[in-house]
Amino acid sequence: MGVDLTKPLHVADTPGLETVELTPAMFEVFNRYAVRMDRYHQGFRRTWTMMVNACSSGMLPPRMSQSHFIDAGIRFTQEVTMHHDYEEAYLFPFLARRMPEFRKADKHNPATAELLRQHEVIHHGLGIVAEYLQACRRGTIDFQFSMLREKLDSFGTVLWTHLDQEVKTLGAENMKRYWKLEELDSFPM
């Protein structure tokens, strides 16, 4: 069954849905997208943690050369950017039809959703990190852990908040407020 997005579903249109106790099977279906999103985010968290730990210790991870470390950082910036580009092009507009957490500002809604504002901060930080690491890879400047750490710290708190908040927003308890169980198979994810 396709999702009829011409008629936004609001909590008030489904009395009591937000208080319905989900069976384990229903919870699994409603929580499916949070689980998938968390899987993507875990990879980002691992790479971020590896980079921050190296910056804190001033030592590369075992069996990793500086060039491999720099390449891993560049890949990280590219992968997070691609992930966010997909979300902003396909997933967020779909979800925003019913979920205010994913809406951009427009004439009817003057406030851009927090998740999208976080994307802006993260994209800015990723651009700075990518520019720095690419310059290091080219040999234009010497790599310094302290410089990378400073750039990571400029958006790290927002990134980690975003990774957690996005998963929570896609969690079963929130999803059941906006979607019917049978509609969840139509999601672009």
- Domain locations in the chain as residue ranges: 11-186
Contacts of 37 (CB under 8 A, 6+ apart): 166, 167, 170, 189
Give the whole-angstrom CA distance, residue 50 versus residue 73: 10
Provide long-range contacts, Cβ within 8 A and 24+ apart, for 77-80. 77/126, 77/127, 77/129, 77/130, 77/133, 78/130, 79/43, 79/44, 80/44, 80/122, 80/126
Length of the chain: 189
Residue 73, amino acid = G
pTM, 2 dp: 0.86
Residue 44 · residue 76 · CB < 8 Å: yes
Residue 55: partners with Cβ closer than 8 Å, 6 or more residues away: 145, 146, 148, 149, 152
26: Cα separation from own chain's centroid: 24
Distance CA 155, CA 131 (A): 15
**In 10 A of CB 134, how many CB atoms?**
14
Contact 70/136 with Cβ under 8 angstroms? yes
User: What DSSP element (H or E) covers 180?
Assistant: none
How far is it, in rounded angstroms, from Cα 70 to Cα 50? 12
pLDDT tens by residue, the chain, 189 residues: 454 544 444 444 553 456 678 899 999 999 999 999 999 999 999 999 999 999 999 999 999 999 999 999 999 999 999 999 999 999 999 999 999 899 887 767 666 788 999 999 999 999 999 999 999 999 999 999 999 999 999 999 999 999 999 999 999 999 999 999 888 887 776
